Amino acid sequence: MNAPERNWAKNVTFGARRLLTPTSVEELRHIVGLSTEIRALGTRHSFNDIADTRGDLVSVAGLPRTVEIDSAARTATVSAGLRFGDLAAPLHESGFALHNLGSLPHISVAGACATGTHGSGVGNRSLAGAVRAVEIVRADGSLTTLERGHPDFPGAVVSLGALGIVTRLTLDLVPAFDVRQWVYEGLPRDQAVHGFDEIMSEGYSVSLFTSWRGGPVDQVWVKRAVDAEDAYEVPAAWRGAALADGPRHPVPGMPAGNCTLQQGVRGPWYERLPHFRLEFTPSSGDELQSEYFVARQDAPAAFEALERIQDRVAPHLLIAEIRTVAADELWLSPAQGRDSVAFHFTWKPDAEAVTPVLHAVEEALAPFGARPHWGKVFPAGPDDLRGLYPDWTRFEELAGRYDPEGVFRNDFLRRFFPRSGD
């Protein structure tokens, strides 16, 4: 089959020869064992060339779709190609939930975990933080399962596809819960900066949306976990912000119907924790995205640093989001070793105009050791990032040991983890 021409945002043209979609793990193992260069393709929601290859792309979406729930262990072993939105309902029907979800339920489980994708919440780890075991087809076609506690495990979850093709993951579960969501508008700037920790702790998941045009924060999305006896009364005014009088979309002018239900309407976790509904395309894809993680205690200073360059940022921006992510111990996770705040930028689709602004953003955030999201647009190179990850060298060794011939290497990995002969 021909390879797909572009990613979802249409800013990356794939250079792969073919897109292969095996229907069994055995077929996948055979394909990989004969390959000299191959990469896994998920739902195409990355904004750089992390998924591309000069060889073949392979999708695991055609593998048997399985959700195996172990109620006693509180885990689910799931097909790597499943989207979070497709996985969530079966979990909920069995009385379980994932601890967190990203803003899009449209992304695949394996792709999200491999790049450190996340949701929000002071105590909530990234999506990869729920992984208890990962099953991988290695370069020789063999099948390996790594469980939490194995010395290679912390490098194998957020792996950027460097170790092999992930076929299944085992995820930690929590009891199913309901969520109410509401939006406040016009949060005063001083509240956002000086009351940051209190604001971000107001709900199970909290997001700030700003256009970086000065003045108040445009919107605050608060998602509050509730139980059967919940009687929380949502105040009409909160910290100087006003409760929205109707549903909202984070991006001005976009239809709010694409978003999950707000205004305090109770619903299951998987219909409230994402910002966007599975049955709708959240936008046309005509955008670029970047995201940078800093330590949570540095959030106010990082906010002020970005304010100083807002005149450069705002003209090219659709909207920006600020979220919290709890620390984990995964070697290449942007939240590794530190509770983090993620500054996310959704840009207008003009790479030539956005690139110099990104250099300014990285310069502004450099004092805080900002780590970029692996699947989004960023100009930082390996010399900029190597010192920000304590286990960078361990990951290089791990990738070399699992894939000595470079079957899973591509231009992205060659840039950041070069080997002799590249």
Same domain? 209 vs 159: no
Pair 13, 81: CB distance under 8 Å:
no
Q: How confident is the model at residue 183 (pLDDT cuts 50, 70, 90)?
A: very high
Per the domain annotation, does 168 fall within a domain? yes
Lowest mean pLDDT, pick from 254-258, 315-319, 340-344, 396-400: 254-258
Per the domain annotation, does 198 fall within a domain? yes
Same domain? 212 vs 329: yes
Same domain? 120 vs 200: no
Question: CATH code at 372?
Answer: 3.30.70.2520
- Cα of 419 vs its chain's centroid, Å: 28
For residue 236, give every residue at least 6 positions away whose Cβ sits within 8 Å of its Cβ, in sequence order, or none. 242, 243
Per the domain annotation, does 407 fall within a domain? no
Same domain? 150 vs 257: no
Q: Give residue 280's pLDDT.
A: 82
Same domain? 193 vs 301: yes
Same domain? 124 vs 172: yes
Other C-beta atoms within 10 Å of 92: how many?
18
Q: How confident is the model at residue 5 (pLDDT cuts 50, 70, 90)?
A: confident
Task: List pLDDT tens digits, range 118-147.
Answer: 999 999 999 999 999 999 999 999 999 999
Based on the number of CB atoms within 10 Å of its own CB, is 148 exposed (0-12), middle (13-18) or buried (19 or more)?
middle
Q: Give residue 284's pLDDT.
A: 57
Per the domain annotation, does 30 fall within a domain? no
Q: Which of 125, 146, 176 is the last residue of a domain?
A: 176
Write the DSSP assignment of 166-187 as a string of letters: EEEEEEE-EE--EEEEEEEEEE
Per the domain annotation, does 153 fall within a domain? yes
Same domain? 84 vs 223: no
Question: CATH code at 92?
Answer: 3.30.465.10
Same domain? 182 vs 270: yes
Domain that holds residue 125: 67-176
Q: How confident is the model at residue 27 (pLDDT cuts 50, 70, 90)?
A: very high
**Mean pLDDT of the chain, nearest integer:** 95
Both structure tokens of 317:
């921006």
Is the pTM here over 0.95, yes or no? Answer: yes
Q: How confident is the model at residue 180 (pLDDT cuts 50, 70, 90)?
A: very high
In DSSP terms, which residues pair with 343 in a beta bridge? 292, 322
Q: How confident is the model at residue 308 (pLDDT cuts 50, 70, 90)?
A: very high
Same domain? 277 vs 364: yes
Per the domain annotation, does 301 fall within a domain? yes
Q: Which of 160, 176, 192 is the last residue of a domain?
A: 176
pLDDT over 70 at 3, yes or no = no
Q: Which of 118, 148, 176 is the last residue of a domain?
A: 176
Domain count, the chain: 2
Same domain? 208 vs 311: yes
Both structure tokens of 237:
């005014």
3-state secondary structure (DSSP) of residue 323? strand
Q: Give residue 1's pLDDT.
A: 55
Distance CA 138, CA 144 (A): 7
For residue 182, give every residue at least 6 positions away whose Cβ sits within 8 Å of its Cβ, in sequence order, or none. 221, 222, 234, 243, 244, 262, 263, 264
Distance CA 287, CA 284 (A): 8
Q: What is the mean pLDDT of residues 195-211?
A: 97
What percent of the chain is predicted at pLDDT more than 70?
98
